Amino acid sequence: MRLPARILAAAGLATLLAGPAFAVLPDEKLADPALEARAREISQELRCLVCQNQSIDDSNAPLARDLRVLVRERLAAGDSNGQVLQYLTDRYGDFVLLKPPVRPYTWVLWFGPFALLLVAGAGTAFYLRNRRSEAVQAAAGLTAEEEARLQALLATDAGDGAGDETDGERRR
Amino acid sequence: MKRLLLLLPLVLFLGLVGYFAVGLRHDPSVLPSAMIDKPAPDFALGPVLDGVPGLSSQDLKGQVSLVNVFASWCAPCRVEHPLLTRLAREQGIAINAIAYKDKPEATRTFLAQMGNPFSRIGMDQDGRVAIDWGVYGVPETYVIDRQGRIRYRHVGPLMPRDVEEKILPMIRELSK
Percent of chain B whose predicted confidence (pLDDT) is above 90? 89
Q: Which of A13-27, A34-48, A107-121, B87-101 has the lowest mean pLDDT?
A: A13-27
Nearest to A52 among B28, B101, B126 (CB): B28
Q: Give A14→chain B minimum CA distance, Å.
A: 38
Task: Classify residue B141: in a domain, yes or no.
Answer: yes
Q: What range does the domain containing B149 cover?
A: 32-175
Domain of B89, CATH number, reads 3.40.30.10
Q: pTM (2 decimals)?
A: 0.77
Q: Do A50 and B131 touch (CB under 8 A)?
A: no
Predicted confidence band of residue A3 (pLDDT cuts 50, 70, 90): low
Say how many domains are in chain B.
1
Q: Do A49 and B136 touch (CB under 8 A)?
A: yes
Q: Give B93→chain A minimum CA distance, Å.
A: 26
Q: Which of A36-50, A113-127, A133-147, A153-167 has the lowest mean pLDDT?
A: A153-167
CA distance B166 to B176: 16
Rounded to whole angstroms, the maximal C-alpha distance in chain B is 78
CA distance B34 to B41: 12
Name the nearest CA neighbour of A76 among A47, A43, A38, A45. A38
**Ranges in chain B, pLDDT < 50:** none
Residue B87: strand, helix, or coil: helix
- Cβ contacts of A52 on chain B, cutoff 8 Å: 28-29
A19-101 CATH fold: Helicase, Ruva Protein; domain 3 (1.10.8)
Q: Could you tell me which residues of chain B have a Cβ less than 8 Å from any Cβ in chain A?
A: 28-29, 31-35, 41, 101, 126-128, 131-134, 136-137
Q: Is the pLDDT of residue A4 over 80?
A: no
CA angle (A120, A121, A127) in 5-degree steps: 90
Burial B27-56 (b: 16+ CB within 10 A, else e): eeeebebbbeeeebbebebebbbeebebbb
Task: Classify residue B162: in a domain, yes or no.
Answer: yes
